[in-house]
Each structure stands twice: as C-alpha cells, then as structure tokens.
Amino acid sequence: MSQVTVKFADGEESSYPAGVSCLEICRERKDSGEGIIAAAINGKESDLGTGILSDSELTFLDFSSEQGARIYRHSSSHILAQAVKRLFPGVRLGIGPAIEGGFYYDFEFEEPISAADLEKIEREMERIIGEKLPYRRRELSRGEALALFRQKGEPYKCELIAELPEDEPISIYEQGEFVDLCAGPHLVDTGRVGAIALTGLAGAYWRGSELNPMLQRIYGTSFPTAEQLTEHLNLLEEAKKRDHRRLGRELDLFSLHEEGPGFPFFHHNGMIIIEELLSFWREQHRRAGYEEIRTPLILNRSLWEQSGHWDHFRENMYFTRIDEQDYAVKPMNCPGAMLVYRSRMHSYRDLPRRIAELGLVHRHELSGTLQGLLRVRSFTQDDAHLFMTPDQIEAEVAAVIEMVDHFYRVFGFNYRVELSTRPEKAMGAVEVWERAEAILERVLQAKGLSYRINEGDGAFYGPKIDFHLEDCLGRSWQCSTVQLDFQMPEKFDLTYVGADGQKHRPVVIHRVIYGAIERFLALLIEHYGGAFPAWLAPQQAVVIPITEKQHGYAASVRSALSEASFRVYCDDRNEKVGYKIREAQLKKIPYMLIVGAREAENDQVALRHREEGDLGPRPLAEFIERLRRDIEEKK
C-alpha cells in the first residue's frame, strides 16, 4: 500500500497509508480527539473523515480558532434546522450560516412562529445532540441535487442549486433523516455540540432583498461547555443594556424615523458628542500635516465611470438627472480628492500631500440590513487621501498606523489587524497588486504588529490594512482602514514632476480613522454604556441646590463653570435632592455639584462623581481645575 507524508503545524512529519482519514491521525496524535472540530488539509477546511491521498500539510482545528468556532456553529445551525423540520414538517428551509458569536437559520413557516416556540425548538435540538447523529457528506450532480430538493419541497434550496456551476459536483450533508445543501465541513456527529441556546427571532427577506418573501430568522449560539455558554449569555444581556438604539433614545442623542429609513436624525446631545469627535479629529490631523477639503455631494456620471465606481459599485449608489445628464450622489469621497489634487501641478517637493475630508456619503443598503447607527444609508466618512512618491509609501503607511493606534488608545479600545488582499473583482494587473501587498506586509512587520491575511477582501482598487477594534464586551468591529492604491492615479492621470524634470505617477493611500462617524458613535455608546467620559459627555456637570435659598449661589456656580467653557446646567426644580441625584445618574452626567448653606458660605461644592460617588466638599476653583484636567487629558 502506498504511503503519504503528512506535515503538522508543529513542524513534525509522519508517514501513513494513503487514504488515512484525518480523524484516524487525530486519534493517534491527540488521544480521543474529542476537542478537535475539523481539519485543514493544505489550508482547505475539511471534515475529520476526509481521507488524505497525497503528501499534505495538516492542521487540526479546535474551538479556540476562528475557523473551528465557525465550523462548530455552522454544524449547530444544521441541528436547529433539523429540530424545526421535526416540529414543523411543512417548513421551507432558507440558509443557515455561522455568524460572529453564533449562528442563524432562515425559515418559511406555514404559519409564523413566536418567541414562545423557541423553547420547544431548543429542547428538540438537545434531543438531536443526545442522538449523536453522524454528519455524512455526499456529492451529487446538479441534476440529482435539484431532483432531491424538489422532491423535498425546498424551492429556496433549488434556487441556490440553479446558480451553481453545472459541471461541478454539489455537496449535501445528512444527519439522521435530515438533509441540507452545504459545502461543509462539519463536526463528526451532533453529539460533539456541548451547550446550545436560541437567542432571538426576527424577520429577514430572502437573500436580503425586499422584493423577495419575508422569512423568519432564528438566532442561536453554541459552546463546548455550559460554563462558556452562560458567560456568553451574560455578555448578551449586558449588550442589551448597552444597545445604542435604546441608550440613544434615553439620552436624547438621535432618533430614527420611517420617513427616512437608514437616514438618522441627530439631536442636540448627539451633535455635542459628534462635534467633540470632529474637533479632536481636526486637531490631530492639523498636527500631522493634513489639509482639509470639502467636495460636492452630487457629481456627473462620467466621473464615476472614470473612477471605476460605475462598474464596481453601481448597485449601492443613488442617481439623479440634471440638465438631461446622469449624476450620482457620492458613495465615496475618493474621486473628489483626485480632482482636487489634479487641479494644480505638483513637484516631488510638494509630496507627500495629505488631503482630508469629513465627507457626507450615501449608499443604498438593503432595508433588511439597516441596524440603528451601525448600518445606515447616509454617513460622514473621515476620509483622507495621501499622495506620494513611491519611496515615501512605507513611511506614510507607518505614520497612519501610528495615528490609528493613538486614536484607539484615547477611547480605550484594543484592536487586531488584518491584511486584505486582491478580490476576484479587481482593477489593475496582478503584479501591481502583489507589489502593493508586499509593501503593506513589510510595514506591518517593521511595526511589529501581529496580523492575519484576509484573502480576497481588498478594495477593488488596492489591498488594505483593516483595524478591528474590540469593545469592553470583547466584541470586534471593523472601523479604520488603510488602502494602498496604484489604480486611481492611473485612472485620473495624476502626475508630479520629479527631480529629473519628468512627469511621474504618484501613489495614493486611502484611509479612515473613525470610519463612519455614525457607526463610531454607536460603538462608543455601547462601549461606554452611555456613560461618556467628561470630554465627550453632552452635560459635564449639574448643579443641585438643596433649598430655594441656594438658588442664587447655584446660579453663580453654573455661570462660573459656563464661563470656563464647561457644559453644565442647574437643576433648581422643586424636587428632593435625592431624586435629582438619581435622575442625574440615569442621565449619566459625570459630576453632580450639591450646594447648601455651608457650601454657599465657603464658596464650595459638595462633589459627587458618577462612578466614585460622594467625594465631599471641595473649593469651586479646585473642581474647575479637576474638570479641566479630565477634559485636556481625555480621561
């Protein structure tokens, strides 16, 4: 029998009979292999039952890896679908992917179910786990797969199959009586799922389009142990308390209206926070040598054709006609910056030229994907476009990375980094992309940053470095990005005069720090739970007189704080002091200044902090200095 050589992640190599399964190798090397979810054979995710037919590199995936957790939860979504099929035989299946922190499955029920039905579905899932049903993979021709799912009355599966290549086999997975269209891989059997819970029920249009039927989406999550599940569910409860939509209403920051779906309305308190964010942004960019511009909201179709957006991004754009010509509302700021650069001649001595814009952009997001401020149709992007000579690229990318790091440290975010490479639908030659990717990788290595490769997720004009920030609940959000572009300068015929007196093509870096201001605000609301630090808080302090006799002194305290440019108000309502303090706590105001007869006599305030509680009597001047320090240091 022929042998194959298998190389493992730790560098060891071993020989096995050809056709040996990953599971057999796993049990030999890792005892029972109970904690192993799947395998990667030469980088391709595979079931543990897959046989190895040639010399290969083999990596075992467990729940601690992102790949392993995704496979684990996708297997869990099949358990959900099987349970629903058992309880509601007439249901039609949609799709059931793993998502961050869990999974979902879309269904078309004969009669809509309610949240009360989730408990019995969950009990049936637990029975299926107890049955330890093996996940079995089969490959069918396109015709066989269509016949199978037509016979089962699954039109949505047939629709998906009809779009797959005719000459490639189609994989299905079976567990007991249940069968699903799926590329896999999966766990060995349903019994490998340790703890499972259903977390929600929502409506979702088939394939995200409002033109399609509305299905019901059941959300769930799963973990190897009950302890991990409990910890996760506790985090979900905390996340509900911090939901930016709820806190946005309670703190009077913004509102959403049916008259403008996806177009948020910002109230006075919300605008205070946004203006503070923008002020900080402008200060940091002035220091770093950026110039700020503003470009039009609507531009001619010819510009979007020139930039490539017409071919690569048209389905996400809004259009209008002016003077019998086609125009588009800008979905990105890039082309405007290119025109500003091209409006005058440049020498190599002018470069790098760093052009920044807080530009309002509009993108047509599907109604089913809109989510508070996290996914909107109109948002302000803190763009910048850096024009440079080729030998300046690495220094400029490094400087942007340092700026991103500074911003995130101010807000208390940790982050991880991804390098996203050439997508399938891309402009330009492969060799240009490879050069750009190599440059970004060198900078990341020189900065000592750990990163992972995100294959095929670059922008259509260039590779990028993405920063995924982590909030206080451990959730990950992609905000900042640094994109290296050799294509746009070519498209717009941008030039500079080099030291040799000849015209040369500049290179462009596209980058954002906040990303979308609206989305960043949503993240801050949830990260801080609405309790903004003093420099961002819409109201930084409230003065609370104990009796009517102190109204005059309270007014003078408020006036002194206002003259010092603090945001403060006086609560002189005819209510008990305890009531006013509780209300200030609910409004999450950082400081409460209680003033009675003693404080009025000694020019003091009885200081109370939102988290620290009662801090005792303090001279007013001392408090002013404390608050000024909080704001300057952005504590």
Decide: helix, strand or coil at residue 482.
strand
471 pLDDT band, cuts 50/70/90, is confident
Query: Quick check: is 346 catalytic?
Result: no
**pLDDT average, residue stretch 476-484:** 88
* Secondary structure E strands in 502-590: 503-504, 507-516, 541-545, 568-570
Q: What is residue 460's predicted lDDT score, i.e. its pLDDT?
A: 75
CA-atom Rg of the chain in angstroms = 29
Residue found under tokens 């208390």: 412
| 71, 57: one domain | no
Reply yes or no on whether 464 is catalytic.
Answer: yes
Q: What is the CATH number of the domain that holds 563?
A: 3.40.50.800
The domain that holds 265 is classified in CATH as 3.30.930.10
What's the average model confidence in pLDDT over 598-620? 94
616 close to 604: Cβ distance less than 8 angstroms: no
DSSP string, 289-346: T-EE----SEEEHHHHHHHTHHHHSGGG-EEEEETTEEEEE-S-SHHHHHHHHHTS--
Euclidean distance between CA atoms 223 and 219, whole angstroms: 14
Q: Is residue 301 part of a domain?
A: no
Distance (Å, whole) CA 410 – CA 152:
56
pTM over 0.85: no
User: Would you say residue 340 has pLDDT above 90?
Assistant: yes
Residue 340 shares a structural domain with residue 461: yes
Same domain, 494 and 405: yes
Residue 492 is inside which H or E element, if any?
Answer: none
348 lies in the same domain as 481: yes
Q: What is the 3-state secondary structure (H, E, C) of 364-382?
A: CCCHHHCECCCECCEEEEE
Cα–Cα distances in angstroms (integers) from residue 525 to residues 238, 531, 547, in the given order: 13, 8, 35
> Picking from 86-95, 367-376, 436-445, which range would have the lowest pLDDT averaged per residue?
367-376
Instruction: Report yes or no on 314 lying in a domain.
Output: no
How does strand 353-362 pair with strand 476-485? unpaired
Residue from 362, 363, 511, 587 carrying the catalytic annotation: 363
What pLDDT, on a 0 to 100 scale, did the predictor assign at position 455? 85
Q: Are 75 and 120 in contact (CB under 8 A)?
A: no
Q: For the segment 247-304, what is each residue's pLDDT rounded down to a tens digit? A: 999 999 999 999 999 999 999 999 999 999 999 999 999 999 999 999 999 999 999 9
Average pLDDT of every residue of the chain: 92
State whether 173 and 259 are in the same domain: no
> Residue 93: pLDDT above 90?
yes
Q: Are residues 56 and 100 located together in one domain of the fold?
A: no
Mean pLDDT to the nearest integer, 453-465: 84
Q: What is the pLDDT of residue 428?
A: 77
Domain final position from 499, 528, 557: 528
Amino acid present at 309:
H
Cis peptide before 185 (omega within 30 of 0): yes
Question: What confidence tier does 155 reach under pLDDT thresholds 50, 70, 90?
Answer: very high
620 close to 605: Cβ distance less than 8 angstroms: yes
Question: Of the candidates 91, 126, 132, 87, which has an alpha carbon nearest to the alpha carbon of residue 109?
Answer: 91
Sheet holding 36-41, edge to edge: 13-17, 3-8, 56-62, 36-41, 44-46
* Cα–Cα–Cα angle for 534, 540, 544, rounded to 5 degrees: 140
Distances (CA, A) of 8 to 29, 52, 61, 154, 483: 10, 13, 12, 41, 34
* pLDDT band (50, 70, 90) for residue 1: low
Question: Where in the sequence is the domain holding 449, given as residue range(s)?
Answer: 254-296+330-528
In the listed set 20, 39, 62, which residue is the last one of a domain according to the structure?
A: 62
Active site residue 363: yes
Please check whether residue 320 lies inside any domain of the structure: no
**CATH number (domain holding residue 46):** 3.10.20.30
Kindly report, residue by residue over 26-43, the tens digit of the pLDDT. Answer: 888 765 567 899 999 998
Give catalytic status of residue 362 as yes or no.
no
CATH of the domain at 200: 3.30.980.10
Ordered DSSP codes for 39-84:
EEETTEEE-TTPEE-SSEEEEEEETTSHHHHHHHHHHHHHHHHHHH
Task: Determine, yes or no, domain membership for 303.
Answer: no
Task: List, in sequence order, every residue forming a beta bridge with 44; answer none if it has no partner.
Answer: 41
469 and 511 inside one domain: yes
Domain contains 319: no
Pair 363, 214 in one domain: no
510 is catalytic: yes
Q: Name the token pair of 502.
A: 């000849």
The reported pLDDT for the residue numbered 91 is 96
Write down the catalytic residue from 82, 175, 216, 381. 381
Tell whether 348 and 436 lie within a shared domain. yes
pLDDT value at position 431?
Answer: 85
In the set 73, 85, 377, 510, the catalytic residue is 510
Give yes or no: 385 in active site.
yes
Q: Which of 22, 26, 182, 334 is catalytic?
A: 334
Last residue of a domain, one of 528, 555, 581: 528
Marked catalytic residue, from 464, 511, 519, 580: 464
Spatial separation of the C-alpha atoms in residues 484 and 421, rounded to whole Å: 11
Band of pLDDT at residue 456, cut at 50, 70 and 90: confident
Cβ proximity of 416 and 468 under 8 Å = yes
Which pLDDT belongs to residue 313? Answer: 83
In one letter, which amino acid is 87? L
Instruction: Examine the domain organization and report whether 46 and 108 are in the same domain.
Output: no
Same domain, 118 and 22: no
What is the number of structural domains in the chain?
Answer: 4
pLDDT digits (tens, 9 = 90+) for 392-416: 999 999 999 999 999 999 998 999 9
Token pair recorded at residue 320? 């209008």
CB 606 within 8 A of CB 593: yes
Cβ partners under 8 Å of residue 55, min gap 6: 4, 5, 6, 7
End-to-end CA distance of the chain: 69
Structural domain contains residue 536: no
Q: What share of the chain has pLDDT > 90, as a percent?
A: 77
Residue 314 neighbours by CB distance under 10 Å = 15
- pLDDT per position as a tens digit, 109-145: 999 999 999 999 999 999 999 999 999 999 999 999 9
- Given a cut of 70, whether residue 420 has pLDDT beyond it is yes
Which among 117, 383, 466, 471 is annotated as catalytic? 383
Beta bridge partners of 266: 254
In a domain, 449, yes or no: yes
Answer yes or no: do 179 and 275 share one domain: no
Can you give 163-216 as a three-state secondary structure string?
CCCCCCCEEEEEECCEEEECCCCCCCEHHHCCEEEEEEEEEEEHHHCCCCCEEE
Q: Which of 78, 385, 504, 608 is catalytic?
A: 385
Domain contains 193: yes
Instruction: Tell me: pLDDT of 68 over 90.
Output: yes
Strand order, beta sheet including 464-470? 291-292, 353-362, 378-388, 507-516, 476-485, 464-470, 414-420, 451-454
pLDDT at 32: 54
What is the four-CA torsion angle of 566, 572, 578, 582, rounded to 10 degrees?
A: -50
